[in-house]
Amino acid sequence: MNLALSPEQELLREAARGSLARHRTIEAAHGALDGGSLPDLWPTARDAGWPGLLIAEDQGGAGLGAFDAMLVAQECGRVLAGVPLIGLLPATAILDAAGAEGLEAVAAGERPVAWLPARPPSDGEGWTVEPPRGKSRARAPRATRDGDGVVLTGAAAFVPDAPHADLLVVVGAAEDGAPVAAAVEASADGVTVEPVTSYDPTRALAHVTLDGARGTALDAEAETLERAWHLMQALIAAESVGAVEATLEMAVAYARERFTFGRAIGSYQAVKHGLTEVLRRLENARSLLYYAGWAWESGPAEFALAASAARSAAGSALDHAARQNIATHGGIGATWEHDAPLFFRRAQLTRRLAGGTAGATDRVATEVLAAAPAA
C-alpha cells in the first residue's frame, strides 16, 4: 500500500508551483475582466515539458501518467493559470495511442493541440458534444471516410483551449454511430473557431464548426476515445481541487484576522464549521484524484468511475468553497476588486463545461448500477 507522492512527483509539483508563481496570474485575471490581456503561459508550459507529459519518451515526451498530469493541473487551478492543459492533454493521449505522425513537435510544444471533447454513449445515445445551449446534447460531428482522410461536418460549443490550437483532435461519428477520430488543422477549409467571451476570463473557450472539414484519420480504438473523455474529467477535477485549496487558505487567513464582538470570526462555530465543511469536501475530492490516478495505471476498467467520481466531488467542492469563501469575507468578498469572485467565476463556468458536474455524478450512478449484481 502506497498512496504517497513519489519524490519525482513531489518535484514535478514543486516545479509547477514555482514556474507558475513567476507570473501574476491572479492579478492578470483581474486585468482580463477589465479588458486586459492574460500573460502567455505557453512558453512556461513548453519549457516545463507539459505538452509532452503523456506522450511516449521515444516520441519526445515524458511518458508519464494521468496522476502526474493531474498534479500539474492542480497547481494551475490554485492560481487560476490559463495553461491549456484540459484541452491539450486528452488530445495528446489520443495522438500517442494512435501512433500519430509529428508527435515530436506536439511534445516539444511547437504545435498546440486541443481536443473537441466528445462524451461516450451512456444509455443507448451515441457520442455527443456540448450544445450551444439547453439540456439536449449535440450529436458528435458526422464523419465520412475518404481514403486516408476523414471529412467532418458538425459543431461543438464551448471547446476548452481551442482558440490557441493549431491542431484539433476531433471525434466524429460514422453513419453506424461508431466513433472516428481525426486530426484536423485549425486553419483547414471548413473549420471555424470562434472564441467565446468567457465568464471566467482565465479559461479560453471557442465554438468550433466543421463544415466538410478534412482531417487525417487517427488509428484510435473507441476505448482510447472514452479514456480521453474521462481523462478530461479527471483533469478538471484536479484543477478544481487546486482552486478549492486556494479559496480555503484565503478564507482561513481572513477568519483568523477579522474580529467581531471582540474575537476572531474563525472562533465562531458557524464560521469554523463552514470552513471544515470545505476541508471535508476537499479531502474527499483529493482522495478521488488518487483513485483516478491509480485506475489510469492499474485499473483501467474503473477509470470511468474513478474520474467521474473525482469530477463530481471536486466540482461540488469548488462550488461550495467559492461561495463559502465569499460568505466568510462578507460583502467585501463580493466586490469587483476582490480575488474571491475570480474563484467563484471559475466554479460557475467549470460546473457547466464538458458534460457538467451533474453529468459526471450521473455517470457515477451508471457505473455503480452496471457493476451491481442483478436481482
Name the residue nearer to another protein (CB basis): 83 or 289: 289
- Closest CB 176 distance from another protein, rounded Å: 26
SS3 144: strand
Q: Per CB under 8 A, does 46 bind another protein?
A: no
**Could you tell me if residue 113 is left (phi over 0), alpha (psi between -120 and 50 degrees) or otherwise beta?**
beta
287 to 306, contacts with another protein by CB under 8 A? 287-288, 290-291, 293-294, 297-298, 305-306
What grid cell was written down for 106? Answer: 506536439
**One symbol per residue from 321 to 340: x for binding another protein (CB under 8 A), - otherwise; what is it?**
--------------------
Contact 205, 160 (CB under 8 A): yes
- CA angle 250-308-85, nearest 5°? 60
Q: Per CB under 8 A, does 67 bind another protein?
A: yes
Q: Which residue has the cell 482561513?
A: 252
Q: Per CB under 8 A, does 268 bind another protein?
A: yes
- Closest CB 173 distance from another protein, rounded Å: 24
Q: Per CB under 8 A, does 276 bind another protein?
A: yes
Residue from 162, 252, 304, 342 in contact with another protein (CB under 8 A): 252
Q: What stretch of H or E contains 275?
A: helix 269-298
Round to whole Å and give the CA distance between 323 and 278. 10
- Closest CB 134 distance from another protein, rounded Å: 16
Q: Per CB under 8 A, does 312 bind another protein?
A: yes
Contact 159, 208 (CB under 8 A): yes
219 to 248, contacts with another protein by CB under 8 A? 248
122 to 151, contacts with another protein by CB under 8 A? none
Q: Per CB under 8 A, does 358 bind another protein?
A: yes
Q: Per CB under 8 A, does 372 bind another protein?
A: yes
Q: Per CB under 8 A, does 348 bind another protein?
A: no
Q: Per CB under 8 A, does 101 bind another protein?
A: no
Q: Per CB under 8 A, does 368 bind another protein?
A: yes
Backbone angles phi, psi at 333, to 5 degrees: -70, -10
Q: Per CB under 8 A, does 351 bind another protein?
A: no
Cβ atoms < 10 Å from Cβ of 88? 29
- Closest CB 79 distance from another protein, rounded Å: 21
Q: Per CB under 8 A, does 273 bind another protein?
A: yes
Q: Per CB under 8 A, does 73 bind another protein?
A: no
Q: Per CB under 8 A, does 374 bind another protein?
A: yes
SS3 260: strand
Q: Please give the DSSP secondary-structure letter assigned to residue 51.
A: G
Contact 199, 145 (CB under 8 A): no
**Could you tell me if residue 222 is left (phi over 0), alpha (psi between -120 and 50 degrees) or otherwise beta?**
alpha
Contact 79, 26 (CB under 8 A): yes
Name the residue nearer to another protein (CB basis): 72 or 156: 72
Contacts of 324 (CB under 8 A, 6+ apart): 247, 251, 274, 275, 277, 278
Q: Report how many residues bind another protein under the rule CB under 8 A.
A: 56
Contact 311, 234 (CB under 8 A): yes
Q: Which residues bind another protein (CB under 8 A)?
A: 1-4, 6, 67, 248, 252, 255-256, 263-264, 266-269, 271-273, 275-277, 279-280, 283-285, 287-288, 290-291, 293-294, 297-298, 305-306, 309, 312-313, 316, 358, 360-366, 368-369, 371-375
